[in-house]
Structure 1
Amino acid sequence: MAKYPIFVLSLLALVCALAFAYEPSPLQDFCVADPTSPALVNGRACLDSKLAQADHFFLSGLNKAGNTSNALGSVVTPVTVGQIPGLNTFGIALARLDYAPWGLIPPHSHPRATEILTVLKGSLYVGFVTSNPENRLISKVLKKGDVFVFPVGLVHFQQNVGNGKAISLSALSSQNPGVITVASAVFGSKPPIGDDILAKAFQVDQSAINRFRAQF
C-alpha cells in the first residue's frame, strides 16, 4: 500500500511538468506585445491594456500569394506575435506557405511549437524524422484538404510534387515558434562552425565544406 501514494505523487509530478512545459496560461484578457519596452522577459512585455486597438489583433493580406521566385521555389508568410502583437501569451501562430512547381520548404524544425498543416491547393510530399526510434522518416503525399502534424522540435519538410502551384496553411502552438533550417544552421552560422568539425561530421573533405558554406 505504501507504493500507491508514491505512484500518485509521481503521476501528479509528471502532469505538472507537462503543464509547465509550454507557454503558461494568460492571467488577463490579453497582453498586447510592446516592441518599445526595454523589459527583459520570456516573451514580450505587455502594452498598457487601455492602449489596445483593434489593429493590434488584426492582419490583412494572407489571401495574397507570396513570391516563390527563389532557389527553393517557396515562401513562408508568417503570422506570429511579430505581425499580430495581440497574439502575445496566447501560444498560437499561423503561416501561409506558397510553393512553385516542385518548390521545397527545406528540412527545418520549430523548437517551441507543434505544427499542423492543411493543404489548400496542390499536392505536397511531407515528412518528419523521429528521435526515438532514431532517424525514422514518417512521410506521406498530401492532397487538397489533407492535414498532417509535425511534432514539436522534430526536423520536417514539405515539397510540392505537382506541376502547378501549391498552397498550405499551418497552425503552430506558440506565438513565437522559432525556426531552425538545418542547412543554414550548420553551414551559415555566425561565427562559422569550424571546417574540420563539419568535415569530420559529414565525412567529407574540407573543400566540400567550403562549397556547401558558400551557398549560405
Structure 2
Amino acid sequence: MVSANDFFFSGLNIPGNTRNKVGSNVTLVNVDKLAGLNTLGISLARLDFAPYGLNPTHTHPRGTELLVVIEGTLLVGFVTSNPNKLFTKVLNKGDVFVFPIGLIHFQFNIGKTAALAFAGLSSQNPGVITIANAVFGSVPPINPDVLIKAFQLDKNVVEFLQKAFAPN
C-alpha cells in the first residue's frame, strides 16, 4: 500500500549539528528515508558547516554529486586517479560544482561564518566512504604494518591515527 507519505520528507529546513570534530553535518535524504525514491536514481543532501568546518575526504561509490552553495564560501575539490590530479575551486553563494562518481572529494568552509549547501546525487542510495575513517577506523583494525608501508608513516603515527579514528 503506497501513500503520499512515501513521497514526502520534512526537515531540510532544520540546520544540522556542526558541533563535532570536523565542524560539519550532512543530512541525507536517500531511499532509506524517502521510500518514493526507490528506482528513481536520485537523492538529496543538506550540508551545514560551522566556520572552518570540513566535510572530510570521501567518495560516493554509486553516485555523482552536484553541489550548490546557498550561504557562505566553500573550498571544494576532487582528485582523479592515474594521474592523481587535484581539481579545486572556491565557491560562493549560488555557485555549483560537480563531483564525478567514485572520486575522492571534500568541501571546506573557508569563511568566518556558517555555510550551507545542498547536493543532488545521481542515485537513490549513493553510499559514502569517508577515507580516514575507513582506513584508520576499520573494525577490526587494518594491520598497522600494512598502513605503515602503504602510507610511509612511522608506527607511532599509525597507532595514533588508529586510536583517534577507532569507533567509540
TM-based fold match above 0.5? yes
Letter in 1 for 2:104: V
Query: Deviation per CA, 1:108-143, whole angstroms, max 9, x where unpaired?
Result: 0000000000000000000000114x1100000000
1:174 aligns with 2:123: yes
Q: Which residue of 2 aligns with 1:55?
A: 5
Q: For residues 80 and 42 of structure 2, what CA distance do their matches in structure 1 show? A: 23
Equivalence map 1:42-121=2 (5 Å): 51-121=1-71
Q: Which residue, out of 94, 111, 121, partners 1:162?
A: 111
Q: For residues 151 and 88 of structure 2, what CA distance do their matches in structure 1 show? A: 24
Offset at residue 205 of structure 1 (A): 2.0
Structure 2: gaps spanning 5 or more residues: none
Offset at residue 147 of structure 1 (A): 0.2
Please report the RMSD computed on the Cα atoms of aligned residues, expressed in angstroms.
0.7
1:202 aligns with 2:151: yes
Query: Deviation per CA, 1:41-81, whole angstroms, max 9, x where unpaired?
Result: xxxxxxxxxx0011111000101100100010000000000
Q: For residues 91 and 142 of structure 1, what CA distance do their matches in structure 2 show? A: 26
Q: For residues 152 and 190 of structure 1, what CA distance do their matches in structure 2 show? A: 26
- Secondary structure, aligned partner of 1:135: coil
Q: For residues 40 and 29 of structure 2, what CA distance do their matches in structure 1 show? A: 13
Q: For residues 183 and 149 of structure 1, what CA distance do their matches in structure 2 show? A: 22
Q: Which residue of 1 aligns with 2:137?
A: 188
Q: Where do 4+ consecutive residues of structure 1 move more than 4 Å? A: none
Letter in 2 for 1:117: L
Q: For residues 82 and 66 of structure 1, what CA distance do their matches in structure 2 show? A: 18
TM-score of the superposed pair, with normalisation by structure 2:
0.97
Higher strand fraction (1 or 2): 2
Q: Which has the higher contact order (CA 8 A, sep 6+)?
A: 2
Q: For residues 214 and 146 of structure 1, what CA distance do their matches in structure 2 show? A: 38
- Secondary structure, aligned partner of 1:201: helix
Q: Which residue of 2 aligns with 1:31?
A: none
1:125 aligns with 2:75: yes
Greater C-alpha Rg: 1
TM-score of the superposed pair, with normalisation by structure 1:
0.75
Query: Deviation per CA, 1:77-98, whole angstroms, max 9, x where unpaired?
Result: 0000011011011110000000
